[in-house]
Amino acid sequence: MFLLLPFDSLIVSLLGISLTVLFTLLLVFIIVPAVFGVSFGIRKLYMKTLLKIFAWATLRMERGAKEKNHQLYKPYTNGIIAKDPTSLEEEIKEIRRSGSSKALDNTLEFELSDIFYFCRKGVETIMDDEVTKRFSAEELESWNLLSRTNYNFQYISLRLTVLWGLGVLIRYCFLLPLRFKEFLSKHVHLMCYRICVRALTAIITYHDRKNRPRNGGICVANHTSPIDVIILASDGYYAMVGQVHGGLMGVIQRAMVKACPHVWFERSEVKDRHLVAKRLTEHVQDKSKLPILIFPEGTCINNTSVMMFKKGSFEIGATVYPVAIKYDPQFGDAFWNSSKYGMVTYLLRMMTSWAIVCSVWYLPPMTREAEEDAVQFANRVKSAIARQGGLVDLLWDGGLKREKVKDTFKEEQQKLYSKMIVGNHEDRSRS
Amino acid sequence: MGSRSSHAARIPDVDSIRRETGFSQASLLRLYHRFRALDWNEKGYLSRVDLQQIGALAVNPLGDRIIDSFFPDGSLHLDFPGFVRVLARFRPVDDEDNRNRDPKEPEPLNSRMNKLRFAFQLYDLDRDGKISRQEMLQVLRLMVGVQVTEEQLESIADRTVQEADEDGDGAVSFLEFAKSLEKMNIEQKMSIRILK
């Protein structure tokens, strides 16, 4: 039994009351500002309060764990194993030096021990690799009061349970019905997107709005969830490109087509790259048409890195306006793992999160230069987006989630190693 | 991402695995999470394809051979104990293991000999206990790809087998292999440390 200090219970009830007041205010003020596009500072305050609560909750959990002498599971964002950042050449030279009684390491071509390097590296990747991490939702170091991100559920003390219960109550009873109602009303595009943004309690910070995409261009952004669309569209007019989806998405798509010209494709048409390119080019060349919004990664990544961009959209030759989107995962994980759960489940999770906090950076427009081919151009745009958003610029294809990796990368390793063996042979024949 | 319990009690047979592999509770927990992360569709076991999906492993020239070592005797499913048993070979050797060891008990999985055995079996495809010249060539070919000519590779293979082969049977047995590497700091080169 732990001691309930008098001021602790006071804090809990105080927090409860202040939260309720906050949400009532939100309730009242949500519709009016949405229509006029005016914002209040309330949401910033909301965010700050939430942050403080999360930090406090984590501390409580750590204390609770120490009382029971157990280990807390702390997810490491940098991997679970200790890695040496040495190159292939250095490591193999070191291995040879340490194992061999022969002094000179320049005349050796191949050693039985060379295998150790590849062996260990291989097993290291089985224990921990960069890419698989990217495809499971980002792990948080502190708990954000959503049981779905919590690993140490059983260490919660009574106080935390009360707070958590309060949180659930508020989220499911206040925020969810409110958002559901909002979600269904749509008449004007921009206004309705804005309402959605408010509905998800999305706190979006737009940077460099002077670089916003103009007509006849292509807007390119990194992709984490379908909400990316809502976030961008609430700040400008875009034409969408995408696959025709069934279900809820299909209904929304059909509704949108009626309002302004978008470019939708059947799944089979998507395979035909020339058809896609042709239609996109037609759209882009018409200067009166809205800028096309494209997510070249091809799949949802968990927003810690930017995967290789598919080159299709960069072949067209129009001006590209890159946009970087970065979510703050503490408030609600926006990542949609499409192989794990479907759209409706995802939407439900979004609606019952605390908030979606993200930053959008509009980067200056880029065009393909004369000596660049589409792939190089795509990589250039990708690096710019990654740099701006503070995301890791990965060389891997987003298709890794579903396909195996290409052989060209394996060749790189083989080339490096061959140089070590055969390169030495050449030295030998010279001397 | 569903709510995953962190409690070690959720891992089946955790105590026997701990005794067998020597991993600490915390390390086992991390490996368990890793196992479940690799198991995309939550089958409860891993198949070859799951390991082949790891991009960084697919570019490792010995990737397929390493995956094979997880599926001994042609088995198709890898459960968590099997997964950890192989990884246990890469556990760093600490002095405690040697001090408290009961000589009657079997050798710990991460002993020097067992580490050597793991590397040996990457060479010895047909598991006959010997690395023939042909097998040596095959591994070399894997590691260099198309960058080196056949003649060069053959001369390298010949030289390597000759140097290690002591009884003159034209192949390298496990003992000869171990002898040629006796000065090597295997304990360090074949160890992967899991962060606490």
Interface contact flag, B156 A127, Cβ < 8 Å? no
For residue range A10-19, what is the model confidence (pLDDT) as tens digits?
776 776 777 6
**CB-closest option in B66, B139, B152 to A123:** B66
Q: Which amino acid is at A204?
A: I
Residues of B in contact with A121 (CB under 8 A): 60
- Look at residue A425 and tell me whether its pLDDT is greater than 80: no
Q: pLDDT category, A239, cuts 50, 70, 90?
A: low
Q: pLDDT category, A402, cuts 50, 70, 90?
A: very low
For residue range B25-73, what is the model confidence (pLDDT) as tens digits?
888 888 888 888 888 788 888 998 888 888 778 778 888 899 988 988 8
> If you average pLDDT over every residue of chain A, what do you get?
62
Instruction: Name the DSSP letter for residue A288.
Output: T
Q: What is the mean pLDDT of residues A63-68?
A: 62
Say which residue, A324 or A129, is predicted with more confidence.
A324
Q: What pLDDT, on a 0 to 100 scale, did the predictor assign at position B72?
A: 84
Q: Are strands B130-131 and B172-173 parallel, antiparallel or unpaired?
A: antiparallel
Q: What pLDDT, on a 0 to 100 scale, did the predictor assign at position B27?
A: 86
Say which residue, A65 or B150, is predicted with more confidence.
B150
Q: What pLDDT, on a 0 to 100 scale, did the predictor assign at position A158?
A: 46
Instruction: Please indicate if any CB of chain A lies within 8 Å of the CB of B76.
Output: no
**CB-closest option in A73, A99, A414 to B29:** A73
Q: pLDDT category, A323, cuts 50, 70, 90?
A: confident
Q: What pLDDT, on a 0 to 100 scale, did the predictor assign at position B100?
A: 64
Least confident stretch, A48-62, A73-87, A165-179:
A165-179
Interface contact flag, A99 B177, Cβ < 8 Å? no
Q: Which residues contact A397 (CB under 8 A, 6 or more apart)?
A: A307, A308, A403, A405, A406
Listed by number, the residues of chain B in 25-64 with a beta carbon closer than 8 Å to a beta carbon of chain A are: 25-26, 29-31, 33-34, 37-38, 40-41, 51-63
Helix (H, G, I), strand (E, B) or coil at A172: helix
Whether A195 and A34 have beta carbons less than 8 Å apart is answered as yes
Q: What is the mean pLDDT of residues A44-73?
A: 64
Q: What is the mean pLDDT of residues A59-71?
A: 61
Interface contact flag, A414 B143, Cβ < 8 Å? yes
Q: What pLDDT, on a 0 to 100 scale, did the predictor assign at position A420?
A: 74
For residue range B62-100, what is the model confidence (pLDDT) as tens digits?
888 999 889 888 888 999 999 999 999 998 887 665 666
- DSSP alpha helices (H): ranges in A362-406? 374-389
Distance CA A374, CA A396 (A): 17
- DSSP alpha helices (H): ranges in A149-272? 158-169, 176-184, 189-199, 227-233, 247-259, 267-271
Burial degree of B36 (CB within 10 A; 0-12, 13-18, 19+): middle
Whether B160 and B137 have beta carbons less than 8 Å apart is answered as no
Angle between helices A114-127 and B25-38 (to 10 degrees): 80
Q: What pLDDT, on a 0 to 100 scale, did the predictor assign at position B152?
A: 85
Distance CA A402, CA A384 (A): 26
Q: pLDDT category, B11, cuts 50, 70, 90?
A: confident
- Which residue of chain A has the CA closest to B151? A422
Whether A72 and A65 have beta carbons less than 8 Å apart is answered as yes
Whether B187 and B94 have beta carbons less than 8 Å apart is answered as no
- Look at residue A283 and tell me whether its pLDDT is greater than 60: yes
Residues of B in contact with A419 (CB under 8 A): 147
Q: pLDDT category, A184, cuts 50, 70, 90?
A: very low
**CB-closest option in A81, A137, A154 to B192:** A81
Interface contact flag, B140 A148, Cβ < 8 Å? no
Distance CA B196, CA A42 (A): 41
For residue range B149-174, what is the model confidence (pLDDT) as tens digits?
888 888 888 888 888 888 888 888 99
Distance set, CA A304 to CA A136, A324, A340, B121 (Å): 11, 12, 19, 38
Beta bridge partners of A323: A221, A362
- Look at residue A7 and tell me whether its pLDDT is greater than 60: no
The terminus-to-terminus CA distance of chain A in angstroms comes to 80
Under 8 Å CB pairs connecting chains A and B tally to 189
Closest CA to B52 of B43, B41, B65: B65
- Look at residue A132 and tell me whether its pLDDT is greater than 70: no
- Which residue of chain B has the CA closest to A426? B152
- Look at residue A249 and tell me whether its pLDDT is greater than 70: no
Q: What pLDDT, on a 0 to 100 scale, did the predictor assign at position B170?
A: 86
Q: What pLDDT, on a 0 to 100 scale, did the predictor assign at position A150?
A: 43
Q: Could you give the ipTM of this predicted complex? A: 0.87
Instruction: Please indicate if any CB of chain A lies within 8 Å of the CB of B71.
Output: no
Q: What pLDDT, on a 0 to 100 scale, did the predictor assign at position A403?
A: 41
Listed by number, the residues of chain B in 78-137 with a beta carbon closer than 8 Å to a beta carbon of chain A are: 87, 90, 118-119, 122-123
- Look at residue A274 and tell me whether its pLDDT is greater than 50: yes
Q: What is chain B's alpha carbon radius of gyration, rounded to the nearest angstrom? A: 19
- Look at residue A2 and tell me whether its pLDDT is greater than 60: no
**CB-closest option in A113, A122, A148 to B1:** A148
Question: What is A289-311 written as a DSSP string?
Answer: SPPEEE-TT-S---SSEEEEPPS
**CB-closest option in A81, A110, A123 to B156:** A110
Phi, psi angles (nearest 5°) of residue A219:
-100, 130
Q: Which residues contact B7 (CB under 8 A, 6 or more apart)?
A: A154
Dihedral (Cα; A194, A195, A196, A197), 10-degree rounding: 50
Q: Which residue has the tokens 């005797």?
A: B73
Residues of B in contact with A113 (CB under 8 A): 181, 184, 189
Q: What pLDDT, on a 0 to 100 scale, did the predictor assign at position B109?
A: 83
Burial degree of A167 (CB within 10 A; 0-12, 13-18, 19+): buried
Distance CA B144, CA A200 (A): 54
Interface contact flag, A118 B62, Cβ < 8 Å? yes
Instruction: Please indicate if any CB of chain A lies within 8 Å of the CB of B183.
Output: yes
For residue range A194-220, what is the model confidence (pLDDT) as tens digits?
555 555 555 666 766 676 766 667 777
- Look at residue B13 and tell me whether its pLDDT is greater than 60: yes
Minimal Cα–Cα distance from B11 to chain A, Å?
Answer: 14
Q: Which two tokens mark B36?
A: 């479940």
Q: What pLDDT, on a 0 to 100 scale, did the predictor assign at position A365?
A: 83
Does pTM surpass 0.80? no
Interface contact flag, B184 A95, Cβ < 8 Å? yes
Q: What pLDDT, on a 0 to 100 scale, did the predictor assign at position A156?
A: 38
Q: Which amino acid is at B86?
A: V
Q: Which of A102-106, A205-209, A389-393 has the highest mean pLDDT?
A: A205-209
Say which residue, B19 or A291, is predicted with more confidence.
B19
Distance CA B5, CA A152 (A): 7
Angle, CA of A19, A22 and A25, to the nearest 5°: 150
Distance CA A174, CA B114 (A): 60
